[in-house]
A = this chain, B = another copy of it.
Amino acid sequence: MNATVADRRRIDELVAACLPGHALPGDFYGDPAVHRLDVEVFWRRGWVFAAHACELARPGDYVTLTIESDPIVVLRDDAGGLRGFHNVCTHRGTVLCREEAGHVGRIVCPYHQWTFDRSGALASCRGMPDDLDRSRLGLAPVHVRELAGLVYVCLADETPDFERARALLEPLARPQGMERARVAAVRDYAIPANWKLVWDNNRECYHCNVNHPEYIRANFDHFNDDDASPRIRAALAEATARSEAKWTAQGLAATHRVTGMACFPDPDHDLWFSANRTVLVDGWVTESLDGRQVAPLMGDYPDPDVGTLRLRTLPNFWCHASCDHAVTTRLLPDGPLATRARVVWLVAADAVAGRDYDLDRLLPFWQCTSEQDWDLCAAAQRGVRSSGYRPGPLSPQKEYNVEAFRRWYVERLASS
């Protein structure tokens, strides 16, 4: 569905109405024409986080997801590689794999049993003429990449460069061992808010003090240049210095050592990915309610003192990982007014529920924090479409990343 001329004109008007340093005009958060273009530009051209490689352990394991109205299946092929396809039959368009996750020898369409092998090739189609060119009727592929256990898909013919992202993210992410983790829990949410409001929320910790009591006990990044007291700065510097020598030796050097959130995204260099490791508050070795370890160590970590690892990729992924577990969030759009979010908790592959970890202790920190955020996003959505809403100024101290996201978004939209 390409943007029509009328859509394009509408977008241009809206883009022209954007003010630097201010929130987006309300029509960006609900206008159907904007959303059609959002889907085309960001969701069909970008690298979309799909799943964890550990969910696709054996050849034939698959996961499905729906990107707006596009059903996608990702599966592990016979050679052990990952492949992605439009999850629709090349005959009459029926959705093929109907479960969220499963295992297949071959993909068999439930309608007429057209059968595709794990490389997507049409292996059989009983009832079709012998002279049919089956080679042209394989499943429509989508690009797939794996990065430290994270599986991405891209629906576009020409993809954005993934190797730049890999070069940056992989060294940081590798020690976490997410590729050899297991899924301990999944929580799915339907957030009644446009996907960009979820990012606006994610890109600042200005809202943390009051809304995230659990989060701020463990972290430093809600302290900004304007409100980090000398005591806080000293504590941060001390913790960072202490970790410096030790972590560097272990290849776990903190890459974010200052107050405030790491800068992301970077519209000037079109960076849609970033990662950093930073310290937790003294006494917290993990993001749990009391800061105490809630699962066995993950990956290559030699001991619990590894701070926290954060990853994020636009348009739909972020991760907060500690020594003992990692929590990922995947967003998917569902029309202009709603976003589906899946939060996944990963632990070491050999950790056993009940013995090595307990969901009652593993989940609350990020379950609370996530749900607090979804609630704020919903409250924002209720207001931004008001005829009385005028985009207000963003705080240079606290919302620099909201501004960066706004610029990244608008510039890509305008030039699409």
Residues of A within 8 A of B (CB): 1, 23, 26, 44, 69-71, 85-96, 98, 110-113, 126-129, 132, 137, 140, 142, 155, 200, 206-207, 209-211, 224, 226-227, 376, 379-380, 382-393, 395-398
Contacts and interface: CB of A to CB of B under 8 A. Distances in A.
Contacts of A390: 90, 140
B387 A44 contact: yes
B86 A386 contact: yes
B224 A389 contact: no
B94 A129 contact: no
A155 B210 CA distance: 32
Contacts of A226: 127
Given A88-B383, A129-B395, A395-B129, A388 B155 contact: yes
B392 A92 contact: yes
A112 B26 CA distance: 18
Given A1-B387, A88-B384, A93-B380, 14 more contacts: A23-B91, A44-B387, A71-B382, A87-B383, A92-B391, A94-B376, A95-B383, A96-B383, A110-B376, A113-B210, A126-B227, A127-B397, A128-B393, A129-B395
Nearest to A133: B393
Nearest to A90: B392
Contact of A127 (B71, B132, B206, B383): B206
Contact of A110 (B111, B209, B211): B211
A30 to B, nearest CB: 9
Q: Which of A71, A91, A224, A396 has the most CB of B within 10 A?
A: A91
A211 B1 CA distance: 33
B23 A386 contact: no
B207 A112 contact: yes
Contacts of A382: 71, 94-95
Nearest to A210: B113
A379 B98 contact: yes
Nearest to A392: B91
Residue of A132, A380, A384, A387 with most chain B CB atoms under a 10 A cut-off: A387
A384 B93 contact: yes
Q: How many copies does the complex hold?
A: 3
Nearest to A30: B69
B89 A383 contact: yes
Contact of A71 (B129, B132, B209, B386): B386
A128 B210 contact: no
A215 to B, nearest CB: 15
Nearest to A26: B93
Contacts of A387: 1, 44, 69-70, 86, 155
Contacts of A1: 387
A102 B207 CA distance: 23
A395 B110 CA distance: 17
A226 B127 CA distance: 7
Contacts of A94: 376, 379-380, 382-384
B127 A395 contact: yes
Given A69-B386, A380-B92, A383-B94, A127 B224 contact: yes
A391 B93 contact: yes
Contacts of A112: 206-207
A132 B98 CA distance: 54
Contacts of A396: 129
